[in-house]
Amino acid sequence: MAYEVLDRIIDSADELRAGADESERLGRLSDGVAKQLRRSGIIRLLQRKKYDGYEAHPREFAETVMKAASIYGSAGWIGGIVGVHPWQLAFADPKVQDEVLGGDTDTWQASPYMPGGVAIPVEGGFRLTGRWQFSSGTDHCDWIFLGAMVGDSEGKPLMPPTGLHVILPRADYEIVEDSWDVVGLRGTGSKDIVVTDSFIPEYRVMRSAEVIDGTAAKEYGVTETLYKMPWSTMFPLGITAATIGICEGVLAAGVDYQRERVGAAGTKIKDDPYVLHSLGEAAAEIDAARQQLLSNVDRIFDLVDAGKEIDFETRATARRNQIRSAWRAVRAADEIFDHSGGNALRMDNPLQRFWRDAHAGIHHAIHVTSTTYHAAALASLGVEVPAGPLRVMI
C-alpha cells in the first residue's frame, strides 16, 4: 500500500539528512540518498501495478513527496519529478514500457520536457539533436523523456510548431558534468543533456498535444482514473508538492531554532510577541498552501473518476491554484527566515538550506504566474484563450 512508502520515508529521515552535505558537495544525490529513495518506493507510487508500482492516488503521491522534501529538499524534489515519469510511461506504447521497466521495475526516468531539440522525420522514426537544461536526478536515471520540435531536413523547426515527447535510453544521450552549479537544490543534480543525431523509433515518440489533451491515454485503452488525469495537473504536482514540503522544512527548522534563541535585544523569542505572531501566521499560510494543493488534485481526480470532461477552464483554474499554493508557501517561508536573525545565515544551520531550496523551487517554469493567471482569468470570463503562450502547460 502507498502509505507504506510514506512510512519508509519517515523511517529513513536520519539517513536522508545525513546524506545532504555530501549531495550538496557532489551537486547530485549521493548514492546513499538515492539508495534510500529506491528502497522507499517513492518513484514507483504512480507506476503501473503490472511493473510493481502502487498506482497510488495523486494525493498520496503529493503527501509523500512533501514529507521527503521536508526532510531534505533535493530528495523530495527528485521524488516529485522523477516520480511522475512512470505515470506518463503508463500510457506510452506498451513496447517502450517493457523496454524501460520490463527488466528492472526500479529503473528511473529523467526529463526535461522543454523543446530543446529538433526531431527530423526519417523512415521508422526521427533523428534528434539538441541540448536541454535542468534534468533533475539524471545521474541516477537510465532513460529520459525529452521535449522536441518536429523539424525539416535542414533541422529547422516546422511552422506551425509540432511538439514531441521522445523517450531515449542512457546510451543515446550525454550528461554534461559541471553544468549544475547553483544556489539552491544543489543535490538534485539537474544537469544539461546533449543528444547528437540519435535515432528515435516511432514507438518511443509521443505527440505532446496528445499527452496534454489525453488522447495518448485513450489510444492505448487506459482505463484507470490515475492515467486519465490531465498532464497539466500531474506533472506540476510533484514539483509544487516538493516546494511546499521544503517550506514545511523551513517551518520545522525555524521552530526548532527559535525554541531556545535569544534575540539581539536580549529577549527570549518565546517572549517576543512580534516574532511569535510572524511564526504563527507563516505556519498557517504553509498549511493553507498544503491544503490548497491537495484539495485541488482531489477535485480533478474526482471529476475524472466520475467520467467528467476536464475542459480548458477547469485545467487553467487547477494550474492557477497549484501555482498560487507554491508562492504562498515560499512567501511564508521568507517570513520565518527573515525573523530568524543573523545566525540563520550560517552554513551549518539547516534553516538556510531549506530557504535556498524553497527559492530554487519557485523558479521552476511551472511556477511562472503571468500567463497562467492571465489564461485562467480570461477563461473565467468566457473568453476563448488563443493558442500560444497562454495555453502552454495548461
291 belongs to a structural domain: yes
223 belongs to a structural domain: no
Are residues 77 and 12 located together in one domain of the fold?
Answer: yes
Q: What value does the mean pLDDT take over residues 102-112?
A: 97
**Segments forming the whole domain that contains residue 7:** 2-101
CA distances from 40 to 1, 14, 52, 80, 249 (A): 12, 14, 13, 13, 19
Per-residue confidence (pLDDT) for residue 246, from 0 to 100: 98
Are residues 87 and 235 located together in one domain of the fold?
Answer: no
pLDDT in tens, 50-92: 999 999 999 999 999 999 999 999 999 999 999 999 999 999 9
Per-residue confidence (pLDDT) for residue 221, from 0 to 100: 79
Question: pTM, whole model, 2 decimals?
Answer: 0.97
261 belongs to a structural domain: yes
189 belongs to a structural domain: yes
Per-residue confidence (pLDDT) for residue 258, from 0 to 100: 87
CATH of the domain at 326: 1.20.140.10
Q: What is the pLDDT confidence band of residue 380, given thresholds at 50, 70 and 90?
A: very high
Are residues 198 and 243 located together in one domain of the fold?
Answer: no
Are residues 124 and 169 located together in one domain of the fold?
Answer: yes
Are residues 45 and 88 located together in one domain of the fold?
Answer: yes
Are residues 244 and 372 located together in one domain of the fold?
Answer: yes
Are residues 279 and 192 located together in one domain of the fold?
Answer: no
Lowest mean pLDDT among 222-226, 241-245, 330-334, 351-355: 222-226
Per-residue confidence (pLDDT) for residue 266, from 0 to 100: 84
Are residues 65 and 162 located together in one domain of the fold?
Answer: no
CA distances from 191 to 19, 309, 343 (A): 20, 37, 31
Q: Which residue has the cell 539537474?
A: 190
Per-residue confidence (pLDDT) for residue 154, from 0 to 100: 86
Are residues 356 and 383 located together in one domain of the fold?
Answer: yes
214 belongs to a structural domain: no
Secondary structure of the chain in HEC code, one letter for each residue: CHHHHHHHHHHCHHHHHHCHHHHHHHCCCCHHHHHHHHHHCHHHCCCCHHHCCCCCCHHHHHHHHHHHHHHCHHHHHHHHHHHHHHHHHCCCCHHHHHHHHCCCCCCCEECCCCEEEEEEEECCEEEEEEEEEEECCHHHCCEEEEEEEEECCCCCECCCCCEEEEEEEHHHCEEECCCCCCCCCHHHCCEEEEEEEEEEEHHHEEEHHHHHHCHHHHHCCCCCHHHHCCHHHHHHHHHHHHHHHHHHHHHHHHHHHHCCCECCCCCEHHHCHHHHHHHHHHHHHHHHHHHHHHHHHHHHHHHHHCCCCCCHHHHHHHHHHHHHHHHHHHHHHHHHHHCCCHHHHCCCCHHHHHHHHHHHHHCCHHHCCHHHHHHHHHHHCCCCCCCCHHHCCC
Backbone torsions φ then ψ of 117, nearest 5 degrees: -135, 165
CATH of the domain at 21: 1.10.540.10
322 belongs to a structural domain: yes
Per-residue confidence (pLDDT) for residue 119, from 0 to 100: 97
**Cis peptide leading into 230, omega within 30 of 0?**
no
The size of the chain, in residues, is 394
Per-residue confidence (pLDDT) for residue 215, from 0 to 100: 86
| Percentage of residues in the chain having pLDDT higher than 70 | 100
Are residues 348 and 251 located together in one domain of the fold?
Answer: yes
Per-residue confidence (pLDDT) for residue 179, from 0 to 100: 97
CATH of the domain at 136: 2.40.110.10
How many domains would you assign to the chain? Answer: 3
Contact call for residues 304 and 260 (beta carbons, < 8 A):
no
192: its cell numbers = 544539461
Pairing status of strand 174-176 against strand 163-169: unpaired
Are residues 384 and 282 located together in one domain of the fold?
Answer: yes
Statement: residue 390 has pLDDT above 80: yes
Are residues 65 and 146 located together in one domain of the fold?
Answer: no
Task: Compute the distance between CA of residue 312 and CA of residue 304 in angstroms, rounded to an integer.
Answer: 14
Contact call for residues 125 and 199 (beta carbons, < 8 A):
yes
220 belongs to a structural domain: no
pLDDT in tens, 35-58: 999 999 999 999 999 999 999 999
Per-residue confidence (pLDDT) for residue 388, from 0 to 100: 86
22 belongs to a structural domain: yes
